[in-house]
Amino acid sequence: MIRSPTERISWNYCRSWTLRRMMMKELTLLEIASFLKEHDNYIMLTHRRPDGDTIGCAAALCGGLRKLGKRAWVLENPQFTPKYRPFLDGLTIKAPVENAVFVAVDIATQELLPYNATDYVNQIDLRIDHHGRNMAFGVCGYVEPKAAACGEIILELLQTMQVQMDKLIAEALYLAISTDTGCFRYSNVTANTLRAAALCKDCGADTFMINQVMFMTRRFARLKLDAYLADTIELYADGAVAVNILPAQIRTELGITEDDIDDISGFGRQIEGVEIAAMIRQEPEGAKLSVRTSPKYDASEICSHMGGGGHAAAAGATVNALPDEAKRLFLTTLTEMGVEL
């Protein structure tokens, strides 16, 4: 008999991957809250190239569990960058403790786990996310595509668990929500998003500090990169489609860091009249495409044709090819979808 996820699930009981696959189930937040209260040791997992949402969610849930007397950590991610480190102060651990419950936050697929976490993919107990309704990994989870940021879900979960939010938790959640909504400028923002941000402010979050660091301050190297991108951007379909290529050599020449390009995906969408914008970055594993669209087009549908996915307004894919070939694939995909270039 398969036990309910709300019952105490022993570690040994969950070790069998076949049995774990049988147990996969989408839970309510109340069921997840009940499950989290029953266990003692927790490890939060973040995704590759971690952004503010996955980091903020991991930090907030970790802090909330500690307030309930649990032992909780965020597994160190080799790609954590200096801009986000302050939100993880005192929360990270290099290796999981024994008998830990693994919780994946804001991770759409198991392929997005960082390399140091791939060994634990068969041990993930909970997945909390807002990327589609994909229950492809983890014993059980909660996925709400209508949430603008996974941070909204974590906030509701902490409220369900009756966690008293403090300044650090509030700032982690505000980081998650603000960065995944472009500081509340994107079309995914709802009234619930704004209420969540207001609650973070009420609980002491220094929203000005976070906004300044995340959205208002840039290194001079990034400004030089903006100039390069503006000079080399390619427009198609009478200015409705914009494509940028960012070669690895340019990043090296300008001294560009991961923090510098954290928000670069929407560069082309800043141009008046652009409905679809693609940023193609040359990476060791291939060409990484980030697609941003107006409400007229579905970015996730575009990227699905290239083996990727995401949200309606923001999605991505990685293509095992050089940037120019990835650009041709992107433009061909648009043509096949009926976009006249």
3-state secondary structure the chain: CCCCCCCCCCHHHHCCHHHHHHHCEECCHHHHHHHHHHCCEEEEECCCCCCHHHHHHHHHHHHHHHHCCCEEEEECCCCCCCCCHHHHCCCEECCCCCCCEEEEECCCCHHHCCHHHHHHHHHEEEEEECCCCCCCCCCEEEECCCCCCHHHHHHHHHHHCCCCCCHHHHHHHHHHHHHHCCCCCCCCCCHHHHHHHHHHHHCCCCHHHHHHHHHHCCCHHHHHHHHHHHHHCEEEHHHCEEEEEECHHHHHHHCCCCHHHCCHHHHHHHCCCCCEEEEEEEECCEEEEEEEECCCCCHHHHHHCCCCEECCCEEEEEECCCHHHHHHHHHHHHHHCCCCC
The per-residue pLDDT for range 60-118, each reduced to its tens digit, is 999 999 999 999 999 999 999 999 999 999 999 999 988 999 999 999 888 889 999 99
| Length of the chain measured in residues | 341
Domain coordinates in residue numbering, the chain:
11-215, 220-336
What confidence tier does 52 reach under pLDDT thresholds 50, 70, 90? very high
Nearest-5° angle of CA 108, CA 114, CA 116? Answer: 140
Q: Residue 292: is its pLDDT beyond 80?
A: yes
Per-residue pLDDT, 164: 96
Among 228-242, 244-258, 300-314, 316-330, the minimum mean pLDDT is found in 300-314
What confidence tier does 133 reach under pLDDT thresholds 50, 70, 90? low
Per-residue pLDDT, 24: 59
Per-residue pLDDT, 134: 56
Chain position carrying tokens 């000079």: 231
Nearest-5° angle of CA 107, CA 293, CA 133? Answer: 30
**Average model confidence (pLDDT) across the chain:** 91
Beta-ladder partners of 128: 105, 142
Per-residue pLDDT, 68: 97
- Which residues, 6+ apart, have CB-to-CB distance to 31 below 8 Å? 5, 6
Count of other CB atoms within 10 angstroms of residue 141: 23
Nearest-5° angle of CA 98, CA 100, CA 105? Answer: 145
What kind of architecture, by CATH, is found in domain 220-336?
A: Roll (3.10)
pTM greater than the 0.85 cutoff: yes
Residue in 80, 310, 300, 56 with CA at minimum distance from that of residue 177: 56
Per-residue pLDDT, 111: 86
87, 175 contact by CB (below 8 A) = yes
Average pLDDT score over residue span 122-148: 83
Q: Residue 139: is its pLDDT beyond 80?
A: no
Among 7-16, 116-125, 303-312, the minimum mean pLDDT is found in 7-16
Average pLDDT score over residue span 139-155: 93
Q: Residue 220: is its pLDDT beyond 70?
A: yes
Count of other CB atoms within 10 angstroms of residue 270: 12
Same fold for the pair 11-215 and 220-336: no
Average pLDDT score over residue span 150-167: 98
Q: Residue 2: is its pLDDT beyond 70?
A: no
Name the more confident of 112 and 2.
Answer: 112
Per-residue pLDDT, 222: 97
166, 62 contact by CB (below 8 A) = no
| Domain 11-215 grouped into CATH 3.30.70.1140 | no
